[in-house]
Structure 1
Amino acid sequence: MPQSLVKNYVHIVFSTKYRNDFIDEEIEDELFRYIASICKDFESTAIRIGGTDNHIHILCLLSRKIALMKLVQEVKAHSSKWIKTKGSKYEDFFWQDGYGGFSVCRSNLEIVKNYIVNQRKHHEELDFKNEFVEMLIENKMEYDEKYLWD
């Protein structure tokens, strides 16, 4: 085949270091727009970004030209540097080292988008740790919980 045709929707999830509450409602919209621009720079269109004070979800169409690991690395590096410029309360901001990446079927895009939009409401009843473990189980991913948290 003379051309590469790829369409990979990916749901990316990662938290702040030690799940510290840094992403308050005062900064989240600007942070999410900034992350969307980073994704765009790497030809990976952000479809929806959301989260709570200690973690984010990114639903994107991953470029055929970049590995997921590289996109996450770039998003974390650039957004971490950016958020530290937003005031003294953000100067100790860091993202956790790892991330979760889950493929999304095109027919499930609306479900995932709605899930991401409603993160603050969702987390009134469920903390991030339990949410992430549920995602791993739902996606039948093997894991050792002692390596999930820093």
Structure 2
Amino acid sequence: MANSFTQAYIHFVFSTKNRKPLIELEFEKQLWAYIGGIGKQNGTHIIECGGMPDHAHVLLELSKAMSIVQTIQKIKGVSSKWLNDHHFPNRDFAWQVGYGAFSIGHSGLKQAVRYIHNQKKHHEHKTFKEEYIKLLKKYNVDYDERYLWG
């Protein structure tokens, strides 16, 4: 086959290290835009990005040149460096080691964008832990709760 064509949408969810509420209102929009730029530089289309002080959601169309692991490592690594360079002079910022990656069909994109866009309203009634477990169950991901928060 002469050409390769792909369409794979992934909804990433990951928290700050120890779920510390470090993403502040004063720079969160810059962070989400910066993550969009990371995607663009790496051939990945970031569709929506947002979150709360203790976690992030990134919806993207996966590049055909990078795996899921490579993509999230790039996003987390480069954004963590940017946050420390610009907002945490003592190098206090880090993302958690793990992440959730959930596949989204094309027909579910609008709903996923709306979900990420409405994080603040959503979290008036639900903690990150409750949200994350609900996503794991929704996507039938096997997990052991003993290892989710360690």
Would the TM-score normalized by the shorter structure come out above 0.5? yes
Q: Which amino acid aligns with 1:2?
A: A
TM-score computed with the length of structure 1 as normaliser: 0.96
Q: Give structure 1 regions of 4+ aligned residues with deviation exceeding 4 angstroms.
A: none
Q: CA RMSD in A?
A: 1.2
> 1:106 corresponds to which residue?
106
Deviation of 1:89 after TM superposition, in Å, equals: 7.2
Q: Counterpart in 2 of 1:140?
A: 140
| SS of residue in 2 equivalent to 1:5 | coil
Q: 1:53 to 1:90 in 2, by over 3 A?
A: farther
Determine if the alignment matches structure 1 residue 42 to structure 2 residue 42: yes
Corresponding residue number in structure 2 for 1:93? 93
Unaligned runs of at least 5 residues, structure 1: none
Q: Which residue of 2 aligns with 1:33?
A: 33
Structure 2 gap segments, 5+ residues each: none
- The residue that corresponds to 1:70 in the other structure is 70
Corresponding residue SS for 2:2: coil
Change (3 A) 1:89 1:145: farther
TM-score of the pair, normalised by structure 2: 0.96
Q: Distance in 2 between matches of 1:38 and 1:71?
A: 10
Aligned to 1:17: 17
Per-residue CA distance 1:107-148 (angstroms, 9 max, x = gap): 110000000000011011101011000000000110011111
Q: How many residues in Structure 1 have an aligned counterpart in Structure 2?
A: 150
The amino acid across from 1:103 in the alignment is: S
Between the aligned partners of 1:85 and 1:116, the Cα distance in structure 2 is 26
SS in 2 for 1:13: strand
Structure 1 residue 91: Cα displacement: 3.1
> What amino acid is aligned across from residue 73 of structure 1 in structure 2?
Q
Aligned partner letter, 1:99: Y
Distance 2:46 2:53 in 1: 20
| Residue of structure 1 in register with 2:120 after alignment | 120
